[in-house]
Amino acid sequence: MADFESVRTRLETSYVNPEEDHPYKYFHESTFHPHYDGRFGDRILKYDEQQAHLKALIQTYLSTMNSIGAETWLMHGTLLGWYWNRKVMPWDSDLDVMVSEKSLHFLASYHNMTMHSFKLPGQKRTRTYLLEINPNYREGEVDEENRIDARWIDTEIGLFIDITTLRRNRSADDEEAMMVKDKHHYMLDDIYPLRDSTFEGIPVWIPYAYPDILSEEYGQEALSGTNHEHHRFDAERQTWIPQKILDSKFDGDDG
Amino acid sequence: MPSGTADEDEPLSAYKARLHNQNTTKPLIEQVSNQWKEKDSDTEKVPYYAEDDTRELGFCDLEDDGSCPNVSRDIVSSRRFRRMFAVTLLAALLLYYAWKHLVAPPLEEDWAYKEGFVAQENGTYGIAKGGRDIDPDLVRLQDLDKRLLPGGEADVEGKRRLVFVGDVHGCKEELVKLLKEVEFDENSDHLVLVGDVISKGPDNVGVLDELIRLNASSVRGNHEDRILQVARSAHNTLSSTSSKGHAKDLALLKQLKPRHIEYLRSMPLMLHIPSLPQAAKPTHKKDSPISEHILVVHAGVVPGVPFSKQDPYYIMNMRSINRRTHVPSALHASSKNEKPWFDVWGWYNDRIFRKQSLKHFNHALQPTDYEAEEDNRAWTSLWKNFWGERHARPKPQVVIYGHDSKTGLQIHRWSKGLDSACVGGGKLTALVLNAKGKWETKSVGCKNYRG
C-alpha cells in the first residue's frame, strides 16, 4: 500500500497497522473497520452518510471506467443490489466489481495511482478518488493475501471498492474455467457476453447469467426473500426499508 | 306377636301343626314375616370400606368380581372379544397405511404446491426488479397476427393450421424434410418456432433465410439472445473472451447479414395465441383439443407471475422451479422442492381448469386473461355487485416450448415440450394444430452434427 505520507489528505496520523498483517499483503484494512482505508478514514460513518458515500463511490468508479474504456462489471453483493432495485443495498459497507485480465493490465500500465476529482450534485466540495493497483497483479495463482487486485478509494473518508480480476484457471483442464484469486470459480460463458444495464443511474455491465451466479453464491432465497439484514423490501416503492422505521411506523399507527 | 312368627320356646311339632292350620285358612302372603325390618343391625351403619382414599381402589380390587382387572380378564378370555379385537386392530392398521401411503402423499404434494402460490411472509419470486428491463431491443410479448389464427375472422371455414417446430439449431435439411412430412401449405399454414433456430448446426444462415421467406414467427431462444448480446458488446477490445462458444458466436455473427440480425431482433420473448374460436370442447386429458389460449416461449414460464415481471433470462433458460419460492433454475430439478417447471405450471393450470378455489393465491392475472371478461362486462359487474368481489379468474393456458433436449419430447395437458434433440442426432418434432384445436405431433430423424 502506498505509504501514508505520500498519499495523505486530511488525516494527521494513519489508522493502519501493516505490522499486524502478513508481510506480503499489499492492501491493509483500517484499525477500526475492515471496509475503510486507514490512510484516509478515521471513523465509521453513520448509516445515511455511508450510504451516500457508497453511492457516490460506485457512480464515480463506473463513469471513470466507462470514459477510459476499461471493461468492468458488478459482482457479489453489489450485483445482488443491482438485481433487486439497481441500487447499493443500504446495509452494505463495501462494493465488489470485477475486471477482465486485459483491463487490469491496461489500468496498471496507464492509470495506477491516478487521482480523479468529481463535483457531485448537492455537494459543495469536490471529492477525490484514488485508483491504486496491487503490484502483485501479474501473479495469477490463488493468493489469499493479495486477492484484491486494485482499489478505488474515497480519499476523504476511506471507503473503497474492491476490484478483482477474472482470470483463466490455469490449473483446470477446461480452457473455459475461470477463477478469481479469492477462489471463486466461474465459467466464461456465465460472464460473457456482458449485458448492459444501469446502476445508481450510471451505465454498467452485468454478467450474462446474472441470476445463476447470484443463486449459486447466495442461494435461491436471495432472489425471492424480502427480509435481509433487518431490512424489508417494499415492492411498490422498490426500495429496502430498515426494520426500525417499519416498527416505529407500526407503533405510530397503533397509538 | 304377629301370627306366623316362630316362637323360640314352641316345640317344633306344635309349630308345624300351627303352620298347617294357618296354611289352610290364610293366604300365603300373610305368612311373610319381614323380620329383617325389625333387626337393628350395626353392620349396616359401618361402610363397607373405611372412609379414606382407598375407596377408589374398588375399581381395581381383585376381590371384587366387578372390578376392572377381573372384568377385563373375563372379557379378554372371551373368544368373541379376541376375534373382535383382532379385526379392529387390522382395520386400524389398514386405515393407517391407506392414509399414509395413498391419501396423505397427494394431499401433502398438493399443499407443497399450494404453498408457493399463497402470499408468504418472506416474499416470493417476481418482487425484485431482476432482469425485467435488461434489453431495450427485446419485444417482450407479441400477439399472433389475427389473420393467421385458424378459425379466426379471416378463416371462417377453419382451414388454417399452425405448425409449431422444436429447436432447429441450423438443421435446414431436417426442417425442410419436416415441413414436407406435415404437408406444410404456405398459403394456409403458419410456421411457429420455439427459439434456438441457430447455433450448433450446419446451416444457420440457410435456416434464417428459409424462415424469413416463409414469414415464420419465432420466439427468442437463449442462443439468439447470446448472439444478439455478442453483437451489442463486440466492440469492446479489452474483453478477455476466449471461450469456444464465444469464438463460434463471433464467426456466426460475421456470416449474418443485416436482414438476419433484424429478424433475430424482431423475435419476441413470448408469443401469445388467443384461444381458437372454433375449437372443440376441452377435457382434462393430455390429448384434449387445445381450446385455451397458447403461450409460446423458449424454455418456460413461472406460473402466477405477471408477464411484465417475468425475468427474460429464465423465460429463455429455465428447466426447474423451486415450488416453494418459485425461483426458477437453469438446471434440472435436483432436490425435493425443485420440480420440472412444467409440473408446477401443470398443477396451477389443472386447478384453474377444474375451477378449484384460488383463495389466498397471489393474484397475477395476465392482461390476456381478461379477454373473455370484456365481452361480458355487464355480467362481471353484476357478479361483482352480487358477491361483493370480482370473480375474475385466470384462464388456463397451454405453453409450447423447447430448450430441454435432454428431457426430450414432453407432452402434458398444459405444456408441450418439442425439443427432441435434432442437432445431436435425435429428431426434429412438429406439433400441428388445426382450427378445431385438434393436434398431432410428427417427427423426422436427424443427422448427428455434434459428434
Grid-cell match 395413498, residue found = B102
Confidence band (pLDDT; 50, 70, 90) for B373?
very low
Q: CB-based contact (8 Å) between A236 and chain B? A: no
- Top-confidence residue, B14 or B168: B168
Task: Please tell me the distance from the alpha carbon of residue B210 to that of residue A215, in angstroms, as a whole number.
Answer: 39
Would you say residue B321 has pLDDT above 50?
A: yes
Give the lowest-confidence range in A221-225, B54-58, B241-245, B305-309: B54-58
Confidence band (pLDDT; 50, 70, 90) for B78?
confident
Select from B127, B131, B239 the Cβ nearest to the Cβ of A226: B127
Q: What is the mean pLDDT of residues B414-434?
A: 96
What is the nearest CA distance from A198 to chain B, expressed in angstroms? 9
Let me know if domain A27-224 sits in CATH 3.30.460.
Answer: yes
- Top-confidence residue, B71 or A89: A89
pLDDT, one tens digit per residue, over B183-195 is 999 999 999 999 9
In the prediction, which pLDDT does A124 show?
81
In the prediction, which pLDDT does B320 show?
95
Cβ–Cβ gap B131/A103 under 8 Å: no
Return the percentage of chain B with pLDDT > 90, whole number. Answer: 54
- For residue A150, the one-letter residue type is A
Q: What is the mean pLDDT of residues A211-223?
A: 91
In the prediction, which pLDDT does B442 show?
96
Q: What is the mean pLDDT of residues B370-389?
A: 47
Neighbouring-strand partners of residue A16: A30
In the prediction, which pLDDT does B57 show?
57
CATH of domain B139-372+392-445: 3.60.21.10
pLDDT, one tens digit per residue, over B95-149 is 999 988 888 888 888 888 888 888 777 778 888 998 888 888 899 999 999 999 9
Neighbouring-strand partners of residue B329: B320
Q: HSE of B57 in the Cβ direction (CA atoms, 13 Å)?
A: 11
Q: CB-based contact (8 Å) between A208 and chain B? A: yes
Nearest CA-CA partner of B101 in B89, B111, B112, B93: B93
Select from B232, B311, B317 the Cβ nearest to the Cβ of A196: B232
* ipTM of the complex as predicted: 0.87
In the prediction, which pLDDT does B134 show?
83
Task: Please tell me the distance from the alpha carbon of residue B322 to that of residue B361, in angstroms, as a whole number.
Answer: 17
Cβ–Cβ gap A193/B233 under 8 Å: yes
Give the lowest-confidence range in A114-118, B21-25, B46-50: B46-50
Q: What is the mean pLDDT of residues A134-161?
A: 85
Cβ–Cβ gap A102/B238 under 8 Å: yes
Residue of A nearest to B249 (CA): A193
**For chain A, what is the mean pLDDT?**
86
Return the percentage of chain A with pLDDT > 90, whole number. Answer: 50
Task: Please tell me the distance from the alpha carbon of residue B180 to that of residue B426, in angstroms, as a whole number.
Answer: 18
Nearest CA-CA partner of B212 in B231, B198, B225: B198
Q: What is the mean pLDDT of residues B237-252?
A: 77
Decide: A162 and A54 in contact? Cβ < 8 Å: no
DSSP H helices in chain A: 4-7, 47-68, 76-85, 101-110, 188-191, 210-218, 221-224, 243-254
Q: What is the mean pLDDT of residues B199-215?
A: 96
Decide: B400 and B217 in contact? Cβ < 8 Å: no
The domain segmentation of chain A, as residue ranges, is 27-224
Confidence band (pLDDT; 50, 70, 90) for B316?
very high
What is the nearest CA distance from B385 to chain A, expressed in angstroms? 29
In the prediction, which pLDDT does A4 show?
82
Would you say residue B403 has pLDDT above 70?
A: yes
pLDDT, one tens digit per residue, over A87-105 is 999 999 889 999 998 999 9
- What count of CB pairs under 8 Å joins A to B? 126
Would you say residue A176 has pLDDT above 70?
A: no
Beta strand extents in chain A (DSSP E only):
72-74, 95-100, 114-118, 127-133, 150-154, 160-168, 177-179, 185-187, 195-199, 202-206, 227-228, 231-234, 239-242
